[in-house]
Amino acid sequence: MRTSAALAVLLSLAGSLCAAQGRPGAPMSAIGWLGSDNVPTVMPAPAPMIPLKEPPTASSGASPEVETLPLGAPSPGAAGLLPMSVTGLPRSLWGSSETGTLSSLLAAVDPSEPALSALLFTLLLAEADAPVAADGGARFLASRLDRLLAEGAIDPALALIEQAGQIETPILFERWFDLALLAGRDDAPCAALQDQPELSDDLPTRIYCAARRGDWDHAATVLGTAQALGQLSERDGELLLRFLEPELAEGSPPVPVPPRPTPLQFRLFEAIGEALPTQPLPRAFAATELSGTSGWRAQLLAAERLARRGALSENRLLGIYSDRKPAASGGVWDRVSAVQKLDAALATGRSDLVGPALVKAWPQMRSAGLLVPFAKLFGPRLAELTLSGRAATLATRAELLSDAYEPAAQKLAAPKGLMATVAAVAQGEPPAFVPDGGTQGAVARAWSGATPPEALRNMLAEGRLGEVILRAMALLSSGAEGNHEDLTEALATLRAVGLEDTARRAAIQLLILSDEGAPR
């Protein structure tokens, strides 16, 4: 079990949602009714329940299907690594929604801003009851694991499934096995499969695990039989044959690479000496580069890829950036050099060195989509110096994109235009001027009396809080693409359910990162 080992990763993933929690005068960072007494709640009165317009008689004499679960039965779907005391989310987060609906939303939502990525991770890892289902929430847990896998959050996903207890269903074993392969820790699922063969009828999995448990003869027998009966694809058969008999690979042509390899295929290619590059593969495979066995460039590219989605903390990113001196130039090497020079300049405390280093590093990190991790790393340190000109402008933006956005806004002297809206939102106040249109106007209206759309208010009245949050995230992504009404409604909804901190961060990030007139 590595639940405790993954705790630092989990807390960093939830940082955006929980950073302000417990700080006097801080904006609400969780559900309003669990927040501090000295923070004004923005939760409006619940919308009245709308009576269902149902016919007075049944259309069929058949008995309705009812989901049942034995009393006291364990519910794997309720597993979570972030307790309510950390997230502020109620245990009833998912309970009133349908599993199918939630699974579709979890698969489809595409966070447009880093603040929403942090919120998504918090939802995925939160301790909360699953929707009532006969499988104890196994399908819902599988959906959460699928999304964590897609984001590249391998260690948290492994910790989550281990938190669920003994794996007794094929749907969860499949996820456990994939995650364990990517983490390089497949002993436990293979041991479980040996004790419970019913967990998987996938022949490549059974052959591989038999070999990993030392039963090479059995693995070879099953492989030969499966090939004779045509039960394996040609590619899987060749990979497994070379895995069991390495000498057969000598002088043989490479095995054709599938466009989307499974984690098992990925590890088999690696085992036979034909390791696949992870850059063209889905994000989940990037995590394999951070084991310490890959080259530095591969680690850097993987770390950046994961950091963009919040699956890697900014401190871990800085650690990989600082590992050694770049021996080349261009691309990632220029970013590494710029970050190292800024870090070194900040260590001196000299503004004359920090200013030029910041001006050079900012466009490097902006082009890589890493300004928010960059700002979290350096924003507070930059705020301690007196800079001038362009460097001062960039330092202010960095602090606004960091966790210290509210103090940064309070220090702004008579901000104008875009920065006036940013400053007001950062302090949870309606902007003095609300533009007629555009992204800035849409954001401003969310703090100027806007309310959630009626459909989402009705869902809240029905207790479908988690579903409402996911739908608000989807609305915000639509709003970021130019649908301004969606943007206003999304931010108003996040504020209405008490996610004020997330709403502020998302709005600030959207305004600053999309500002075409910003210094580059």
- CA-atom Rg of the chain in angstroms: 26
- The contacts of residue 292 (CB under 8 Å, 6+ apart) are none
The reported pLDDT for the residue numbered 165 is 87
pLDDT tens digits, one per residue of 44-63: 333 333 333 333 333 344 44
% pLDDT > 70, the chain:
85
Range 346-374 average pLDDT: 97
Cβ proximity of 498 and 28 under 8 Å: yes
pLDDT band at 1 (very low <50, low <70, confident <90, very high): very low
What is the maximal distance between C-alpha atoms in the chain? 82
* DSSP notation for 282-324: -GGGGGGGGGS-S-HHHHHHHHHHHHHTTSS-HHHHHHHHTSS
pLDDT tens digits, one per residue of 250-277: 778 999 999 999 999 999 999 999 999 9
pLDDT tens digits, one per residue of 380-421: 999 999 999 999 999 999 999 999 999 999 999 889 999 999
Cβ proximity of 507 and 114 under 8 Å: no
pLDDT tens digits, one per residue of 442-477: 999 999 999 999 999 999 999 999 999 999 999 999
495, HSE (Cβ side, Cα atoms, 13 Å): 32
pLDDT at 36 over 50: no
| Cα 449 versus chain centre, distance | 30
What is the C-alpha to C-alpha distance for residues 505 and 405, in angstroms, rounded to an integer?
8
Closest CA to 200 of 228, 175, 182: 175
| Helix, strand, or coil (residue 134) | coil
Cβ proximity of 170 and 199 under 8 Å: yes
What is the C-alpha to C-alpha distance for residues 15 and 87, in angstroms, rounded to an integer?
10
The reported pLDDT for the residue numbered 305 is 97
Of 251 and 366, more confident:
366
pLDDT at 76 over 90: no
pLDDT at 426 over 80: yes
CB count within 10 Å of CB 322 equals 13
Cβ proximity of 41 and 29 under 8 Å: no
Question: What secondary structure, in 3-state letters, does 7-55 show?
Answer: HHHHHHHCHHHHCCCCCCCCCCCCCHHHCCCCCCCCCCCCCCCCCCCCC
pLDDT tens digits, one per residue of 205-231: 999 999 999 999 999 999 999 999 999
Q: What is the mean pLDDT of the chain?
A: 86
Q: How far is CA 405 from CA 200, 395, 504, in A?
A: 49, 12, 9
pLDDT band at 4 (very low <50, low <70, confident <90, very high): very low
The reported pLDDT for the residue numbered 135 is 82
pLDDT at 34 over 60: no
- Please give the angle made by the CA atoms of 249, 255 and 256, to the nearest 5 degrees: 170
pLDDT at 141 over 80: yes
Q: How far is CA 348 from CA 317, 353, 385, in A?
A: 22, 8, 11
| Helix, strand, or coil (residue 511) | helix
What is the C-alpha to C-alpha distance for residues 175 and 137, in angstroms, rounded to an integer?
14
The reported pLDDT for the residue numbered 188 is 95
The reported pLDDT for the residue numbered 60 is 40
The reported pLDDT for the residue numbered 284 is 96
Whether the CA torsion 351, 355, 357, 362 is positive or negative: it is positive
pLDDT band at 70 (very low <50, low <70, confident <90, very high): very low
What is the C-alpha to C-alpha distance for residues 10 and 138, in angstroms, rounded to an integer?
21
pLDDT tens digits, one per residue of 473-490: 999 999 999 999 999 999
The DSSP bridge partners found for residue 82 are 126
pLDDT at 43 over 60: no
| Helix, strand, or coil (residue 482) | coil
Buried/exposed 157-166: b ≥16 CB within 10 Å, e otherwise:
bbbbbbbbee
pTM of the model: 0.85
Range 298-304 average pLDDT: 97
